[in-house]
Structure 1
């Protein structure tokens, strides 16, 4: 395809606008100065890897090959593991040097190791898509010892895989530089090992920040009155580390629009830190239902912030509607809201529906309607 004359190519681009028009114009831009291998590389990246012409040109400056045998073998490894074409394209766009890797000596041993520890093909694809350069790490010098460190810390390979899946950088970064210092700080502050494991397992991404910010946030959480010995301490640490200061202020403002003072917001945060992890729209929708539909004073919710965190459609609206009826009948008090929302489905129906059918026969119909079960 590279034997077209410049005149012929210009003629094609002027008279027609085929799907490859941008590709042809791009080739003209560098055909006079590029090598044969670079031209082949660009063509391969576009036609076999799904890269755009612009991405292919940029990638060709980082990797070159004259025959398709090596890159075909690399792509074959990914296809054999069930990687989707879009995933392969994404990986190679971000890290084209993988196409020069030796599949048998470089890629397969690393993939086989991860799979031997329990990662599924689906999990492997997500991991490599998230951090393509993870396959550039040394198997013996990095991947094996890093995985074993995480596994020993969390006390099982299964939990290590779960933690890595949630925070893929955990396996890529050097734990001695990025994980160990923060864990040492947590231990020094009196955080129990079980709570450290919880933080690593579910919120490992917070460890990849500047150490001064981690230390400053820990001090801030302490100043708010959280006890390092309790799980709420690491939950609060995770919540604050996961957002910018401007986002934190905006969420205080959202609660403020429902009459909460900043002190009430902080009190609610101490009671249930995840109330500040909700989106602004979720906070607004839940507060609107409790205040404007159920008729509760917003201060009632500030004392029970857990109530805001449940699913609006599957929990808050159906059960809140039952709560509204019972409240209007005077057979229940606002303090029962948290219990009503947290009990199991079976207990909820027994305690708050069946028990009060005599006083409010419409309860089951109201609940079924809000759950979308009405006939």
Structure 2
């Protein structure tokens, strides 16, 4: 309950009961922050503080972006509607912070049709609240003329999208897809990518992994494609789209920095580029991850450099969850000579599924299964045991 000082009580007592208005009017004259500027909308400023618990600094920033506010009735209706469809107070605050104009939207004519459209896509309750809180600008877009056509255009690209799950992820990652004019950047880039042979599932994959490329300037998209071609990829290759994803998402400086990291471990530029052509996603891994992987494979267990050139994808695997546990198991298998045939290469062991790995190298050796399982879980061998070299076939 708000506690009023004596002066405020005198003011309130002079206001006739029938003339009493919602907090919007009362507090607009009683709760003024010393930091307000001439552009601050005082009524909205106080409403944001009293109703949505914004700080004075936040309220000032938001209220200066909205003009000609006269009545609190519309914001009350908007908040009531948001709450009725499952929005949390946090969702509402985040939405208002990004797009304060929605407080003055017509609920029945503007907000409700858009919300029902998103609900039809599968966004309901708290999921809808979280989506709008991060993408509230979509509520400023005309539903019939722009929002629906853009969503339909994106849906056509995505293949095998059950229940619109991928669509929701894509527009959540890049809301500019639905705010850019479909007849300009979006349509133009789709046409160009399709002319490069990126169609069907490949176009869908690119949209899922790098949606921003679809709204880039035409010149940038063409430059990325040109760079990928110069790196030795063919538009006919299934790896082309993966390379385009990497190149469009990394700046040149970052790409070259990864090259220098590989050089520090003895690889040449040509060898690094060969690894990139075999595994186009390699440069997207963090420098920390790549460095730890290179140190483990090359320095810790003595794997030959050529083995990683042939199988650079190994550097993308989790050391803790996949590489080290399987390496430990294979150490025991080798030391006990459990395999009658030639021991498989480490890279081939890392390449199979967990189910097949357990079947081939753990469960089949009944007398040693318990020890192998303990090793696989990481409780048997300490880090000092990870030093004997491995031969790569």
From the superposition, tell whether residues 341 and 122 of structure 1 become closer, same or farther in structure 2 (CA, over 3 Å): farther
Unaligned 5+ runs, structure 1:
6-23
Q: Is 1:117 aligned with 2:121? A: yes
Q: Is 1:40 aligned with 2:34? A: no
Question: Deviations 1:180-218 (Å, cap 9, x if unpaired)?
Answer: 212211222222322112212332122232221110110
What SS does structure 1 have at the residue aligned with 2:266?
Answer: coil
* Within-5 A mapping of 1:19-98: 27-30=33-36, 38-64=41-67, 65-98=69-102
From the superposition, tell whether residues 298 and 125 of structure 1 become closer, same or farther in structure 2 (CA, over 3 Å): farther
Query: For 2:49 and 2:309, how far apart are their aligned partners in 1?
Result: 56
For normalisation by structure 2, the TM-score amounts to: 0.79
- From 348, 358, 361, the equivalent of 2:357 is 348
For normalisation by structure 1, the TM-score amounts to: 0.82
- RMSD of aligned residue pairs (Cα, Å): 3.2
Q: Is 1:279 aligned with 2:286? A: yes
Q: How many residues align?
A: 352
Unaligned 5+ runs, structure 2:
8-29, 382-393
Query: For 2:332 and 2:233, how far apart are their aligned partners in 1?
Result: 37
From the superposition, tell whether residues 186 and 151 of structure 1 become closer, same or farther in structure 2 (CA, over 3 Å): same
Quick check: 2:282–2:312 contact (8 Å CA) kept in 1?
A: yes
Query: 136-145 vs 52-61, which deviates more?
Result: 52-61
- From 276, 288, 291, the equivalent of 1:269 is 276
Query: For 2:66 and 2:380, how far apart are their aligned partners in 1?
Result: 56
From the superposition, tell whether residues 84 and 261 of structure 1 become closer, same or farther in structure 2 (CA, over 3 Å): farther
What SS does structure 1 have at the residue aligned with 2:239?
Answer: helix
* Within-5 A mapping of 1:121-270: 121-155=125-159, 158=164, 159-270=166-277
Query: For 2:343 and 2:311, how far apart are their aligned partners in 1?
Result: 10
Which residue in 1 is equivalent to 2:25? none
Quick check: 1:318–1:371 contact (8 Å CA) kept in 2?
A: no
Quick check: 2:157–2:200 contact (8 Å CA) kept in 1?
A: no
From the superposition, tell whether residues 242 and 296 of structure 1 become closer, same or farther in structure 2 (CA, over 3 Å): same
**CA positional deviation for 1:358:** 7.5
Quick check: 2:31–2:46 contact (8 Å CA) kept in 1?
A: no
Q: Which has the larger radius of gyration?
A: 2
Quick check: 2:32–2:46 contact (8 Å CA) kept in 1?
A: no
From the superposition, tell whether residues 200 and 236 of structure 1 become closer, same or farther in structure 2 (CA, over 3 Å): same
Query: For 1:285 and 1:120, how far apart are their aligned partners in 2?
Result: 42
Quick check: 2:186–2:214 contact (8 Å CA) kept in 1?
A: yes
Query: For 2:358 and 2:379, how far apart are their aligned partners in 1?
Result: 14
Which residue in 1 is equivalent to 2:390? none
Quick check: 1:217–1:241 contact (8 Å CA) kept in 2?
A: yes
Query: 259-268 vs 361-370, which deviates more?
Result: 361-370
Quick check: 1:26–1:53 contact (8 Å CA) kept in 2?
A: no
